[in-house]
Structure 1
């Protein structure tokens, strides 16, 4: 199974070798070259297969494309017979990570699959340990290190997180946007690439190496089976997060943002709903406004429809449970004035807010 942890662009199928942007740091290629050196081997064939000029390894500012990283990883794993590319004290022979994927694919949902992946990875090596945990609304996948990984440390830790996340996205056929990424090492010279690799706020010199994401993704059922897994492993498709346009929790996440009252009051009746624009929501969700609208459409929803749904639910609740004036209900439901609220409410229910309140209290 290919390790494409350092791929920093969309999958190769979308771009040709000459068109693809080069964003993957040359430091990761140097790490692969070091793995060859430790085995008293030369990376010449792998570099040639990836169309990487050897002198490029001497240029700190050099970057390569996703396709080039895929090619050199593929060649190196097979030549070295080590899917870990020299990270650990013993090799992980070709097919090791495919075996882990097979052990996880029968899981009922992602939480079980990732937990199995973490547990079974410990059977391959004890140099690092993977841990999956959830606290409140946040899930965390973290790494602890049992020994000094030396100059391959960064490449190893980045790869492990990217591979686990990429496989998770593939198993549930969904983007899993990250809330944060933390690394227990100082910011490297190519730190700017991490924003592309992880698409989330990144912290260096952290207490632990970890990624966090919305815990609701753990409850998503797996959408792949053994047949799909065999095909994926046979063709070694890149397990990159960026190839997944669909976010199967996007509607729920947008609804949650729209329904979170301003001022940090949680469900407090006095707090008004935010009047988020598409631009604001897109920023909070780390996507572009165009992508937000497109993905909502793919999920059978619209932003305006979700806004109406959240406002209607809030208004109905306040009219039913409280005696607050219509003007205050309008404000709490996110309307700029009472008149626009009454017009919208009549469109939703066929009644004015006052008529609705009288009817539900009869």
Structure 2
């Protein structure tokens, strides 16, 4: 049996609806998309099927060909074409920024030089950062592919620029859930909400302070195959230790082992241990930090019995808690409480 082509060997999850939108862009320009469809191994019968899906490799092929043949990196979304290289210009305008926050601000600001049909905004609200799309023109049948692709572009660039996964707290879209809504969690790992005021991403604002780790040479290499950034899910998370601290602080007793912590952060146990090691710490150290902080808080601010405090911070019995607490502080829990009250 012959070996199937790479596009056929990978899972097909990208909705065919996005390809049909590209075909409409060809039709508006009076051009024939058939050659590009053949190159991407998309048959006419598959194109007509409402439930059909394509692979990431097929999406990269059809998107790249369509952008070049239409000379429009926006693929017909906007009232004017964005010539080939437009989004590369945005990358170049942002890559010299010292931190991600400034890079994204520049991205949003310079995007208005390409089109005024939409405006990108970046703002922070406490610990959360929000990047959203303000629509200033009716995007019509191109609305979904425009919002999805723009958000994936900017998220992909941000992850690449800091060489880190940026977990998404929420992803918003202003339209009703499409019939292919099951593809959205694959495209956007994180809670997805439809019928929202704007399309946008919500993530931890701490990522905005991370330095960019790419230079002009890396940018040149990336732009040779920039489209995979919209499907590449970075495994490395340069703020994983901080996210573990926050999770343990919120649920010290509930996150009792590595499996529970990994599940709460949507990573594998192996990845959790490896990335914490890369950051110079261990899960046990972070658990001890969280337990000590919670235990001392309860000892100082409550009159709860030591046995209850032990359970509240994840210990099976008072004896093991007392032994651990003495190792952290040099004194027993009861002595710590007495010392605070003197």
User: Is TM (by shorter chain) over 0.5?
Assistant: yes
Q: 2:254 aligns with which of 275, 283, 286?
A: 275
Once the two structures are TM-superposed, the CA of residue 181 in structure 1 deviates from its matched residue by: 1.1
Once the two structures are TM-superposed, the CA of residue 96 in structure 1 deviates from its matched residue by: 0.5
- The answer to whether 1:29 aligns with 2:19 is yes
Q: What does residue 272 of structure 2 align with?
A: 292
Once the two structures are TM-superposed, the CA of residue 156 in structure 1 deviates from its matched residue by: 0.5
Structure 2 vs 1, CA of residues 243 and 298 (structure 1 numbering), >3 Å: closer, same or farther? farther
Once the two structures are TM-superposed, the CA of residue 332 in structure 1 deviates from its matched residue by: 4.6
CA root-mean-square deviation: 2.5
Q: 1:77 aligns with which of 67, 73, 77?
A: 67
Q: What does residue 322 of structure 2 align with?
A: 342
Q: How many correspondences in the alignment?
A: 337
**Structure 2 length-normalised TM:** 0.90
Once the two structures are TM-superposed, the CA of residue 147 in structure 1 deviates from its matched residue by: 1.0
Once the two structures are TM-superposed, the CA of residue 288 in structure 1 deviates from its matched residue by: 4.0
5 Å matches for 1:112-131?
A: 112-131=102-121
- Which fold has the larger relative contact order, with Cα–Cα distance below 8 Å and residues 6 or more apart in sequence? 1
Deviates more, 1:279-288 or 1:53-62: 279-288
Unaligned runs of 5+ in 2: none
Once the two structures are TM-superposed, the CA of residue 185 in structure 1 deviates from its matched residue by: 0.7
> How far apart in 2 are the matches of 1:274 and 1:63?
43
Task: Report SS of the residue matched to 2:315.
Answer: coil
Once the two structures are TM-superposed, the CA of residue 86 in structure 1 deviates from its matched residue by: 0.7
Once the two structures are TM-superposed, the CA of residue 284 in structure 1 deviates from its matched residue by: 3.0
Once the two structures are TM-superposed, the CA of residue 303 in structure 1 deviates from its matched residue by: 2.5
1:168-197 alpha-carbon deviations (Å, 9 max, x no partner)? 000111101111111111111111101111
1:43-90 alpha-carbon deviations (Å, 9 max, x no partner)? 122112212223211111111100110011111111111111111111
**Structure 1 length-normalised TM:** 0.85
Q: 1:106 aligns with which of 96, 99, 115?
A: 96
5 Å matches for 1:128-207?
A: 128-207=118-197
Task: Report SS of the residue matched to 1:143.
Answer: strand
Q: What does residue 226 of structure 1 align with?
A: 216
Structure 2 vs 1, CA of residues 159 and 101 (structure 1 numbering), >3 Å: closer, same or farther? same
> How far apart in 1 are the matches of 2:176 and 2:298?
51
Once the two structures are TM-superposed, the CA of residue 203 in structure 1 deviates from its matched residue by: 1.4
Unaligned runs of 5+ in 1: 1-14, 263-272
